[in-house]
Amino acid sequence: MLKKLALASAALTASISLAFAGDLENKSWDEIVAQAKEEGQVAWYVWYLRDDLRNAVKPFEEEYGIKVTIPEGTNQGNQDKLLAERDREEGDIDVMALGYDAMASKDMEALFMDLSGYLPKDDDRVGSLVGIDPKGRALAFWGNQTGIAYDPAKVDASALPQTPTEFAEFWASNPGKFGFNFEKGGSGPSFHSNVMRNLSDVDFSSPDSSPEKLAKLKPGIEFFNEHGENYVITASNADSIIRVSDGELWMVPAWEDHLAGLQKRGEVRSDIKFYIPAMGMSGGGNGVSIPNNARNKAAALVFINWLTSADTQSAFNRDFGTAPMHGKADDSYALVSNDQRAHRVDPAKDPFYKELKDHFIENVILNR
Amino acid sequence: MTWRRWLQVILLLTPGLGLIVALIGTVVYIAIVQSFGLYNLTGESLLSAEHWAGVLERRAYGRAVRYSLYIGILSALFSVALAYPLALWLRKPFTGSVAVGAILKAPLLVHGLVAAFLFINVIAYHGVLNQFMQWIGLWEGPRRLQNDSNAIGVLILQTWKNMPFALLILTGAVQGISDDVLDAARDLGAGSMARFRKVIAPLTISAMQAALVIIFIGAVADFSFQVIAGPTNRQSMAQLMVFYKDGGRWHDAAVVGVSLMVVALVGSALLAFAARFILSGRRFR
């Protein structure tokens, strides 16, 4: 009896340690799926629309029998957790969602496992985005775009401002009707940085920053100071959209997917429209990665395979208004037409972007 | 006392005080050394004063310190000034005084964030207040009241939230003054102002100092009211700290954090000293 018990416990320990080792090398995709089903769960750390995403992953749970847990947490909170846990043998995060802008300042190779080689081959998936190459450590699952949300009842849709000069004219003829945020969300910074990109002779594609480079932004800074009386500073992305919906403001920078989501849930007027001005506004995206110390690596791989598939990306476009991150996905539900997508530009890169935002606060916001 | 006696006292204090000192001490220690470049979460730790130099020369920093002091001092003064007459009114029980006291203390149970969002709804461009003012004909069109640049919205919220706390502390102190003392003052010809200035204020000064200091510390470190209802052309110190932290600049955030601790400490000491100096007949006891 004792011998049997000892043998059984030895076998159990061996099987557990094998499973925990997460040894996925040389496994076929079918074997990875089988191991994923054995693991039975995956923790996805994503910081936005958590309730809606919990519903959106139900088809995956039904198909594979793998439970997806989306914990509550903020973007920064999740990133802090990732850093705090990186030396633990096993972390809580199986799949980590990150904005591509945040990847630029992270040591992706040290933090995440290489996904290529494990997932079934599919060239239509998007790895590199907005000029950032995560070196196989991330795949895009969410494409988003900043632009201008406007109230068609107040603004003539055939004469929308397209350039900084036209925006200034709009501000002058409609003072206090255009607002943007400078913190708590990236839509306002996308607007002010792209105005500065248009007005200044500065290379926005390079992440390098220096006092001389920042000094060259002067024409843009002067533009905002000169017209300071005519526009409003809002408190956040959400505050901007809510005040357009309320009728207080007529035009605000916004994220396409944020606006679409709020409209879908009935929290914002459905007649609010969205466009990308010809001067260009930043588009970006979010990707998913698997931390090196993830507990359920196989389940995480199967989940990412599902999340970045054409079907799921089409569904996300329909339900969330995202720009699909798969070449074969259907994007017919987007708020903007494909010809307007041509106005998408890559966002400035850190550390330059961070210093630009600081520079804007010091020289425009604090002068108000 | 002999050293044995000292040791005994220290040992007796250790379970309570020791825990507090250890918990607060580690946090304060990490904040301070982080502001000097150590405990780097993402790169190499390097002892240096460059973060202090960098942050101190930013206009956003100086403005945040002045703004936080403005909010802290005015919130504490308004809360205490409003709470005093109410505490005196509620000194002697009367029919319904318990209900009145309970209603006045209700804001203590409402979370600050909830209050801030409710307030924003009320003062929104097409909110209840704007519609009411137009309905009675005082205003011709809606006015933009949200995020006003003098932070009147934040001061209203701070006072609304903190006044009940001051009331709680002051009621106890005011009720502790016996009728005999007040009657004696009355016999000696003291009017109501003189009774407040020469009897009630000096006798309740410790409670008032406590209320002032605790409210000041909370308001000077305000984050939630500021981000929702505060002016958008300046940041409070807590907001600036979080802004830096969210940008991954932990050392700059630590500099603001340490400054916030210093401002809270020095400011509350000065406030307590000033209150005693003014209310105890310009004598420092």
Q: What residue in B sits closest to A78 (Cα-Cα)?
A: B246
> What is the residue extent of each domain of chain B?
55-279
Tens digit of each residue's pLDDT (9 = 90 or more) over A176-206: 999 999 988 889 999 999 999 999 989 998 8
Please count the residues of chain A: 368
Tens digit of each residue's pLDDT (9 = 90 or more) over B73-109: 999 999 999 999 999 999 888 999 889 989 999 999 9
Say whether B238 sits in a helix, a strand or coil.
helix
Token pair, residue B229, equals 């209802």
- Residue span(s) of chain A under CATH 3.40.190.10 come to 27-143+285-320, 145-283+336-367
Residue A329 neighbours by CB distance under 10 Å: 21
Q: Which of B125, B142, B227 sits opposite A235 (nearest CB)?
A: B227
Q: B55-279 is classed in which CATH architecture?
A: Orthogonal Bundle (1.10)
CATH number, domain A27-143+285-320: 3.40.190.10
Which amino acid, one-letter code, is at B155? L
Q: Is A110 touching B (CB cutoff 8 A)?
A: no
Q: Is A248 touching B (CB cutoff 8 A)?
A: yes
Q: How far is B228 from chain A (nearest CA, A)?
A: 7
- How much is the pLDDT for A16? 46
Burial of B198 (0-12, 13-18, 19+ CB in 10 A): middle
Residues contacting B228, CB < 8 A, separation 6+: A235, B113, B116, B117, B120
A145-176 in b/e form (b: 16+ CB < 10 A) is bbbbbbbeeebeeeebbbebeebbebbeebee
Which CATH superfamily, name and number, covers A145-283+336-367? Periplasmic binding protein-like II (3.40.190.10)
**Where does the pLDDT of residue A324 fall: very low under 50, low under 70, confident under 90, or very high at 90 and above?**
confident
Question: Considering chain A, what percentage of its residues have pLDDT values greater than 90?
Answer: 65
Q: Is A269 touching B (CB cutoff 8 A)?
A: no
Mean pLDDT on B184-206? 89
Mean pLDDT on B218-237? 92
Radius of gyration of chain A (CA): 23
At residue A273, what are phi and psi to the nearest 5 degrees?
-110, 170
- How much is the pLDDT for A6? 59
Query: What predicted TM-score, i.e. pTM, was given to this entire model?
Result: 0.77
- How much is the pLDDT for A18? 43
Residue A130, pLDDT > 50, answer yes
Radius of gyration of chain B (CA): 23
- How much is the pLDDT for A101? 82
- How much is the pLDDT for A3? 61
Q: Is A74 touching B (CB cutoff 8 A)?
A: no
- Residues in A touching B233 (Cβ below 8 Å): 233, 365-366, 368
Could you give the angle at the alpha carbon of A226 between the alpha carbons of A225 and A232, nearest 5°?
A: 65
- How much is the pLDDT for A10? 55
| B-interface mutation test, from A242, A361, A363, most B Cβ less than 10 A away | A361
Mean pLDDT on A278-284? 93
Could you give the angle at the alpha carbon of A108 between the alpha carbons of A107 and A109, nearest 5°?
A: 95
- How much is the pLDDT for A105? 78
Tens digit of each residue's pLDDT (9 = 90 or more) over B111-121: 989 999 999 99
